[in-house]
Amino acid sequence: MTHSLFQSFIMSKNIGFISTRFAGQDGVSLESAKWAEVLWEDRHVSYWYSGESDRDPDISYVVPEAYFGFSENQWINQRIWGGGQRDRFVSERIRALADYLKSTLYRFVEKFNVDIVVPQNCLAIPMHLPLGIAVTEFLSETRMPAIAHHHDFFWERTRFSVNSVPEYLDMAFPPRLPNMRDVVINQEAQEQLALRKGSSSLVIPNVFDFDNPPDEVDQYAQDVRSELGLEEDDFFILQPTRVVPRKGIEQAIKLVSLLKNPRCKLVISHEAGDEGYEYLGMLEQLAKEENVDMRVVAHRVGEVRQRDSEGRKIYTLWDLYHHADFVTYPSTYEGFGNALLEAIYFRKPVLINRYSIFVRDIEPKGFKLLTMDGFVTPSIAKRVKQILHDPVLRDDIVNHNYEVARQFFSYSVVRRNLRAFISSLTGY
């Protein structure tokens, strides 16, 4: 064994990821998996603590009480948000659940001989208050090295602004601990964390494996267009988001309307529901008025490929990207913008709204993106037409964007920073 290889094995650590859920396609689950992949390159082995999990059971520690949808946590949430006073019995139940979860964290660390823990957003957004308290106390008691990865903070969400738990939010979301390093995903979060908590942090943006381009369309996904009812000569305009107001989907409808081409079909990948169906109803009415063919295909898109009860294929979002001609991303706010990186990864041209994080963290990097300031204009529609009908222009745009993304948003960004963090926490 060479000295360097021997050294890598000596320095390798067991990393314990902690969250309320590691399952599906949410940002926390996706980014944590990318971190684990990068850490594995340096022989660090990842283990997973959560309330719900789709990770390998042999390296997972599933505690149902840690899931944000657990009945006791839901009972607590109903009583601490939206009002300024809480009952003593609520405090007792918060305390009881936090103590239990803390005991399971001790068992998780002991079972897998964890050296460093990585709390994933559970110390940032209090969807599971007792879990945040448990993690904070565990870190305070053990002084275990920790890298806290914060995706979105509670002060960014209106629903948490009126509450009866200010002391817990102050203590644990996030805590200030000498053994913990803070990581945020954008500059605004970095500034707000410093202002509100006096904590310094490092910005590590969301990333994609731009050193390894996506595979070609395989046989399973070849029929996406026909299965979604699209003709080969239709223009497939993809809105790769859920149907919620902050996604600004009315602007995507406006764009397709201004294109004045019945071959342009707006396809929305994910469903409504978690924020109600009123917005979807408004969009359907608008699409009808604007004579836009809009299709919500959530029933044919899942987290994994499978078949539904009628034997029809369920595709992944990545299957859809392969077939899309253009991507709309008119969000009014995003913590970062994973869908933008996905579109660039699949070499698709994008229309994006200039939301605040985009303006500060992404736009200065030098992408060739079609941008809008809150609303679609005829000149934007004209530019989209050019891109749709000019393959040379289109290739120039998407290839340029891919190279910029590879420079600024590839796995190497995470690799470099995590190496530095682990070194500072362990002394290696």
Tell me the two tokens of residue 223: 């029929």
pLDDT for the residue numbered 201: 94
Helix axes 71-80, 129-142, angle to 10 degrees: 100
What phi and psi values does residue 221 have, to the nearest 5 degrees? -100, 5
Q: Between these two residues, 380 and 427, which has the higher pLDDT value?
A: 380
Residues 415 and 366 in one domain: no
- 318, 323, 325, 328: CA torsion to nearest 10: -30
> Which element (helix H / strand E) includes 193?
helix 187-197
The span from the CA of 398 to the CA of 345, in Å, is 9
The encoded tokens of residue 345 equal 């990864």
Residues 39 and 100 in one domain: yes
Q: For residue 419, how many other CB atoms are within 10 A of its CB?
A: 17
Segment 355-391, tens digit of pLDDT = 999 999 999 999 999 999 999 999 999 999 999 999 9
pLDDT one-digit tens code per residue, 66-125: 999 999 999 999 999 999 999 999 999 999 999 999 999 999 999 999 999 999 999 999
pLDDT bracket for residue 24 (50, 70, 90): confident
Note whether 417 and 389 are same-domain residues: no
Asked if 365 and 243 count as a contact pair (C-beta separation under 8 A), the reply is no
- Residue 212 falls within a domain, yes or no? no
4-10 average pLDDT score: 43
Please report whether residue 192 resides in a domain. Answer: yes
Establish if 136 belongs to a structural domain: yes
* Burial per residue of 90-113, b for 16 or more beta-carbon CB atoms within 10 angstroms, e otherwise: beebbeebbeebbebbeebbeebe
Q: What is the pLDDT of residues 237-258, one digit of tens each?
A: 999 999 999 999 999 999 999 9
| Three-class secondary structure of residue 299 per DSSP | helix
The per-residue pLDDT for 267 is 98
The per-residue pLDDT for 428 is 60
307 within domain boundaries: yes
Answer yes or no: is 311 within a domain.
yes
Q: Residue 355's closest CA among 378, 381, 330, 377? A: 330
- Over residues 185-220, the pLDDT tens digits come to 999 999 999 999 999 999 999 999 999 999 999 999
Measured CA to CA, the distance from residue 112 to residue 14 in angstroms comes to: 8
Task: Please check whether residues 270 and 398 belong to one and the same domain.
Answer: yes
Asked if residues 152 and 123 have their Cβ atoms less than 8 Å apart, the reply is no
Is residue 4 over pLDDT 50? no
The mean pLDDT of 316-331, rounded to a whole number, is 96
Q: Are residues 348 and 422 in the same domain?
A: no
- Whole-number percent of the chain with pLDDT over 90: 87
Amino acid type, 160: F
Where is 223: in which H helix or E strand? none
> From residue 159, how far is each of 69, 162, 163 by CA, in Å?
17, 7, 9
Instruction: Specify whether 126 is located in the same domain as 241.
Output: no
The reported pLDDT for the residue numbered 9 is 43
Pair 186, 270 in one domain: no
Give the mean pLDDT of 299-307.
Answer: 92
DSSP at 132: H
Least confident of 2-11, 32-41, 356-365, 390-399: 2-11
pLDDT above 60 for 10: no
Beta pairing partners, 149:
120, 183
pLDDT single digits (tens) 126-177: 999 999 999 999 999 999 999 999 999 999 988 899 999 999 999 999 999 9
pLDDT in tens, 269-279: 998 766 678 99
Is 6 contained in some domain? no
What does the alpha-carbon distance between residue 220 and residue 217 come to, in Å, rounded to a whole number? Answer: 8
Assigned domain for 4 exists: no
376 is in which domain, residue-wise? 224-408
Residue with tokens 């994910």: 270
For residues 331 and 303, is the Cβ–Cβ distance under 8 A? no
What whole-number distance in Å separates Cα of residue 413 and Cα of residue 312?
A: 40
Q: In sequence order, what DSSP letters do the residues of 35-51 get, joined into one string?
A: HHHHHHHTTPEEEEEES
Q: Which element (helix H / strand E) includes 353?
A: strand 350-353
User: Domain containing 44 — which CATH number?
Assistant: 3.40.50.2000
Tell me: do 394 and 416 sit in the same domain.
no
The whole-chain average pLDDT of the chain stands at 93
* Dihedral sign for Cα atoms in the order 41, 42, 43, 45: negative
111: Cβ contacts below 8 Å, ≥ 6 apart = 61
Whether 21 and 154 share a structural domain: yes
Confidence of residue 3 (pLDDT cuts 50, 70, 90): very low
My answer on whether 84 and 133 are in the same domain is: yes
Only one residue has tokens 């998780």, namely 108
- pLDDT higher than 90, residue 235: yes
Report the pLDDT value the prediction gives residue 291, as an integer from 0 to 100. Answer: 97
Residue 296, in any domain of the structure:
yes
Is there a single domain that holds both residue 155 and residue 91?
yes
Pairwise CA distance, residues 3 & 5, whole Å: 6
Number of domains in the chain: 2
Domain shared by 26 and 97, yes or no:
yes
For 283-315, b where at least 16 C-beta lie within 10 A, e where not — what string? beebbeeeebbbbbbeebbbeeeeeeeeeebeb
Q: Which of 26-35, 47-56, 257-266 has the lowest mean pLDDT?
A: 26-35
CB 280 within 8 A of CB 248: no
Paired sense of beta strands 313-314 and 306-307, if any: antiparallel
